[in-house]
Structure 1
Amino acid sequence: MRSLLTWLLILTVLATAPLSTASACPFCAAVSQTFSEEIESMDVALIAKLEKVPATTPDPSIGGVKANFIITQVIKGKEHLNDAKSVETLYYGEGREGRKFLIMGSDPTNLMWSTPTLLEDSTVDYILGSIKQPKDDYHRLIYFQKYLEGKDDMASRDAYDEFAKAPYDWLHSLKPDMNHDQLIEWLKNDDLQANHRRLYFTMLGVCGSKADLPFLETMLKSDDRKQKAGLDALIGCYLTLGGADGMPLIEKLFLEDKEAEYADTYAAIMAIRFHGTETDIIPRERLLQGLHLMLDRPSLADLVIVDLARWEDWSVIDRLSTLFKEANDDSSWVRVPVIRYLMACPKPEAKEALAELEKVDPEAMKRAQTFFPFRNSGVTPSRDAEQAIAMADQKVGVQLVSAEATQELTADTETTEVEVGVDEAPLSEDQDAAVENMNEAPVIATDEAKEPLTEPAAAASAAERFATRGDRLLADAIQNPQAVEAPSANRLVLVATPLVVGLLLALGMWLILRSPYQAPSA
Structure 2
Amino acid sequence: MTDRNRIRPWHGWPGLYCCLLITVLTTKLAACPFCPGASVPLTEKLTHAHTACLVRWVEGDTGTIEKPGHTVFKVLKVIKQSQSTQYEKGSLITVNHYHFSKPGGPFLLTGTHGPKPLWENPTAITPASYAYVMQAPSLQKPTTERLQYFLKFLEHQDMIIANDAFAEFANAPFEDIVPLTPQLPREKLHHWLSSKSTPAPRLGLYGLMLGLCGNEDDIDFMEDKINVQAQGLRSGIGGLMSGYLMLTGGEGLDHLERSKFQQKNTSPNELFAAREAVSFMWTYGKGRYQIPPERLRQSMRMLLNRPELADLVIADLARWQDWTVMDRLVSLYDAEGYDYKGIRQAIIRYLLVASRYSDPSDGGPDATTAARARKYLTLIRDRDPQLVKRAERFY
State the secondary structure of the residue aligned to 1:25. coil
* 8 A Cα contact 1:105 1:111, kept in partner: yes
Report how far residue 183 of structure 1 moved: 0.7
Amino acid at match of 1:40: T
Within the alignment, does 1:166 sit opposite 2:175 as a pair?
no
Cα distance in 1 for residues equivalent to 2:230 and 2:271: 16
Distance 1:12 1:202, change over 3 A: farther
Which of 81, 86, 89 is the aligned partner of 1:77?
Answer: 81
Which of 194, 204, 209 is the aligned partner of 1:198?
Answer: 204
Which of 269, 272, 278 is the aligned partner of 1:263?
Answer: 269
Report how far residue 369 of structure 1 moved: 3.8
Amino acid at match of 1:102: L
* 8 A Cα contact 1:49 1:100, kept in partner: yes
Cα distance in 2 for residues equivalent to 1:206 and 1:158: 22
Which of 76, 86, 92 is the aligned partner of 1:88?
Answer: 92
> Residue 323 of structure 1 corresponds to which residue in structure 2?
332
Unaligned runs of 5+ in 1: 1-9, 374-398, 402-470, 472-522
* 8 A Cα contact 1:89 1:113, kept in partner: no
Cα distance in 2 for residues equivalent to 1:260 and 1:85: 60
Within the alignment, does 1:40 sit opposite 2:47 as a pair?
yes
**Which structure 2 residues correspond to residues 434-453 of structure 1 after superposition, within 5 A?**
none
> Residue 358 of structure 2 corresponds to which residue in structure 1?
none
Cα distance in 2 for residues equivalent to 1:107 and 1:14: 25
RMSD of aligned Cα (Å) = 3.4
Report how far residue 338 of structure 1 moved: 3.4
Cα distance in 2 for residues equivalent to 1:183 and 1:156: 14
* 8 A Cα contact 1:46 1:74, kept in partner: yes
Which of 338, 356, 364 is the aligned partner of 2:347?
Answer: 338
TM-score (ref. length: structure 1): 0.60
Within the alignment, does 1:218 sit opposite 2:224 as a pair?
yes
Which of 19, 23, 34 is the aligned partner of 1:27?
Answer: 34
Distance 1:78 1:339, change over 3 A: closer
Which of 297, 300, 303 is the aligned partner of 2:306?
Answer: 297
Percent identical: 30
* 8 A Cα contact 1:24 1:171, kept in partner: no
Largest Rg, 1 or 2: 1
Cα distance in 1 for residues equivalent to 2:180 and 2:297: 31
Deviations 1:339-376 (A, max 9, x none): 44344154636745764786688323x34542344xxx
Distance 1:226 1:319, change over 3 A: closer
> Residue 383 of structure 2 corresponds to which residue in structure 1?
363
**Which structure 2 residues correspond to residues 29-428 of structure 1 after superposition, within 5 A?**
29-49=36-56, 61-64=67-70, 66=72, 69-71=74-76, 73-77=77-81, 82=86, 84-90=88-94, 92-97=99-104, 99-111=105-117, 116-130=122-136, 135-223=141-229, 228-280=234-286, 281=289, 282-298=291-307, 300-324=309-333, 327-328=335-336, 330-333=338-341, 334-343=343-352, 344=354, 345-346=365-366, 348=368, 351=371, 355=375, 362-364=382-384, 366-367=385-386, 369-373=388-392, 399=393, 401=394
Cα distance in 2 for residues equivalent to 1:248 and 1:218: 15
Q: Which moved more, 1:138-147 or 1:177-186?
A: 138-147
Relative contact order, higher structure (CA 8 A, sep 6+)? 1
Unaligned runs of 5+ in 2: 1-16, 355-364
* 8 A Cα contact 2:238 2:273, kept in partner: yes
> Residue 394 of structure 1 corresponds to which residue in structure 2?
none
TM-score (ref. length: structure 2): 0.77
Report how far residue 298 of structure 1 moved: 4.4
Cα distance in 2 for residues equivalent to 1:270 and 1:138: 25
Report how far residue 328 of structure 1 moved: 2.6
Cα distance in 1 for residues equivalent to 2:231 and 2:278: 21
